[in-house]
Structure 1
């Protein structure tokens, strides 16, 4: 379906942007909480000392801020934003597999994380989303020679 200004954004892309923003906020909050836990020696030891915790906190906050910004690109139909989120989600899947490998008790939380990442990638690359990111109306042919 086409809007007045061009193709209408598929609901799946809007859902993905919302999920990205929720995850981004969670990353920023997690980073802030890690900063708050710097005084816990057992946690610091687990992450290679206080420096490891500080690095983790900063990375989490930066990752969250970057993902939040990229979410706006998804809503605008920016193909670079779609690729960036895809790479981040594939990285997230890798981290989940690694986390499960070192902590088998995390199987369910990591499985949920993996399934959400797969859903996000699927919603961005399958069906109407592909046409949206190429700025094609649903009735517009994919082949530029036919337009």
Structure 2
């Protein structure tokens, strides 16, 4: 993947974040494919039209922080995966923070522009299984062999 493609996609993601915080429906409309499916952390599924209405009515986003992004491209498609922390207004007037991992799929249209076609956030939860043997730190392996 070229540095230009990577920069283009990361720029589109930054514009998405800024538009959500600003409630900029026109910018979001341009960044999302008409076929967009957006799955919020609690499992709520929105089409593009519903997501735009959600943003316009609720104006929930205060701050969005991304972490450890992995970007993979496959021709005119890209998958962006990584951590996210959303600081948001709560329905009761307070604030709430939701953090987890997001998978986003983008497509480059005939006009050369990257647009989002899919978004799914999975909030962090209990890790009931623990680490796999290959994921354990080497220090733990050394202690076990003593």
- The structure with the largest helix share of the pair is 1
TM-score (norm 2): 0.27
Greater RCO, CA 8 A, separation 6+: 1
- The structure with the largest strand share of the pair is 2
Q: Which has the larger radius of gyration?
A: 1
TM-score (norm 1): 0.27
